[in-house]
Amino acid sequence: MSQTATLAATPHDGLFGAARNKAMFAVAMSVLLSVLDYAIVNVALPSIAHDIHTTDSAAIWVVNAYQLASVISLLPLAAMGDRVGHARMCRIGLMLFVVASVLCAMSKTLPELAAARGLQGFGGACIMSVNAALVRFIYPAKILGRGIALNGMVVAAGVALGPTVAAGVLSVTNWPWLFLINLPLGGAALYFAVTALPKTPTNGGRFDFISAFLLAISFGSLIIGGDSFAHASSLTFSFSLLAVGAVSLVVLVQRQLGRPDPLLPVDLLAKLGFTTAFLTGFFGFVASNFFIISMPFNMMNVLGRSAVATGLLMTPWPVAIMAVGPLVGRLTDRYPASLVTTFGLSLTAFGFLLLRLMPPNPSDFDIAWRIAVAGAGFGFFQPPNNKAMITTAPLHRTGSASGMISVARLLGQTVGGMLVALTLGLVAHGGTNACLAFGSITGFFAAAVSASRLLTSSKIPAKD
């Protein structure tokens, strides 16, 4: 029997008791560190731009460098995790993240800070590429949905806490401390990652560096080219990058076909259930970014809310996600993703539609409860869909499936951001309302993609 086949047949039933709690705490701390740091920097961009003597538009690269490094490295790092072990990859990511945080705090110029943020994004990708894979080995199969739901709640908590933590830090000190607070958090996460994470099987195959290079070129070119087009930059530059990205992607796919453990998981994408879950996740995050990016502009520029009020009114989104988390975990373990995810996305899309149809002068309550409805739906969407992706893959391909969960999220957010920029640029008046309408349409489309799985499932599994 081959090594890969041996790994696929390896028995696995998770951890129990204190061992499971400590291991999950290590994963949660690692994920929270990565998500929180990404969220808090957005609030500090004006202060950073002023202190390092750059323009507001150029300072966006403090965010872009992190996101671009994460997107282009997620799948290579997920493949590396299958080879060296998911726990080891998480520990490497934590160490890189802490070192990069120190470099960010010490940076005096935009190139220095952008480079440090790129390294930080690489460390974050090490963590996010294997977090779902680790959850699969921490939780027994029959309650895996609860672990995935808890993981989703941690991501939501990071998003919710980001602006609050940033505001608190900046009220008493300067922006470098946004990065220095990662030292004690990262140290605690690393301690538990070293002492509590389970050892996972490895496949020992050779790493495909050429494919990793092609993936970086294709994803990087497509993202930068698409962003340039959305912001009405040089069309020649934009289309040149898009062409380079498309050609590189075609060459990459051809190179991956027939390989037993491809870096770009064409073997997993050949499975209808996996591809449907991936597309559901992608379109779900496109829909969410139509709302997340445009709604603050709507509240401040159209509805006349202050920046503080806008931040508070956006809070029901992550709070609702966390509130439904325990229920979603149980439902995810009892019912198929085709039902729970479709319901969640439909509820999110309906919430966006309610926001689009608000009266001209809504009260704060009118805004907040509609956002809560959309957020609750989004909470129902993620865990079962993520579980569908992770369990469709063979055990020895768990790392690649975990990486694709993060790719669906990041690509969806990136494309959503591009479409918001394009919409606001093309629609002179009412652009934010148009974004809410497009978010609703995209959400219902994602629900339809999810519901297509009902055609291949004739019955609901019995309750435990």
pLDDT, position 104: 94
In the chain, what percentage of residues exceed pLDDT 90? 30
pLDDT, position 458: 47
Q: In the predicted model, is pLDDT for residue 463 greater than 60?
A: no
| Domains in the chain: boundaries | 14-200, 209-258, 264-454
Mean pLDDT, the chain, integer: 84
CA angle (204 as vertex; 198, 208 as ends), nearest 5: 120
Q: In the predicted model, is pLDDT for residue 433 greater than 80?
A: yes
Distance CA 143, CA 265 (A): 26
Cα 283 off chain centre by: 13
Q: Is 29 helix (H, G, I), strand (E, B) or coil?
A: helix
Domains 14-200 and 264-454 share a fold: yes
Q: In the predicted model, is pLDDT for residue 170 greater than 80?
A: no
Cα 312 off chain centre by: 23
278-297 pLDDT, tens digit each: 999 999 999 998 898 788 87
Question: In CATH, which superfamily holds the domain spanning 14-200?
Answer: MFS general substrate transporter like domains (1.20.1250.20)
More confident position, 379 or 169: 379
pLDDT, position 37: 77
Alpha-carbon distances of 462 from 279, 333, 450, rounded to whole Å: 27, 11, 21
More confident position, 451 or 312: 451
More confident position, 425 or 108: 108
> 């898009």: which residue's tokens?
242
| The CA-based dihedral angle spanning residues 137, 140, 145, 146, taken in that order and rounded to the nearest 10 degrees | -100
| The CA-based dihedral angle spanning residues 83, 88, 90, 94, taken in that order and rounded to the nearest 10 degrees | -130
Cβ atoms of residues 147 and 23 within 8 Å: no
Residues 192-206, mean pLDDT to the nearest whole number? 83
Query: Model's pTM, two decimal places?
Result: 0.79
Domain 264-454 coded CATH 1.25.40.20: no
- The closest of 194, 24, 22, 186 to 95, measured between CA atoms, is 186
Report which residue type is found at 257: L
pLDDT, position 304: 85
Among 45-49, 78-82, 458-462, the minimum mean pLDDT is found in: 458-462
Task: Output Rg (C-alpha) for the chain, integer angstroms.
Answer: 21
Element containing residue 36 per DSSP (H, E):
helix 17-51
At 92, the pLDDT band (50, 70, 90 cuts) reads very high
For 82-173, list the strands marked E by DSSP.
none
Residues 170-186, mean pLDDT to the nearest whole number? 87
Among 83-92, 230-239, 327-336, the minimum mean pLDDT is found in: 230-239
Residues 355-375, mean pLDDT to the nearest whole number? 92
pLDDT, position 56: 61
Distance CA 377, CA 368 (A): 14
Q: In the predicted model, is pLDDT for residue 342 greater than 90?
A: yes
pLDDT, position 4: 39
Among 29-43, 242-256, 379-393, the minimum mean pLDDT is found in: 29-43
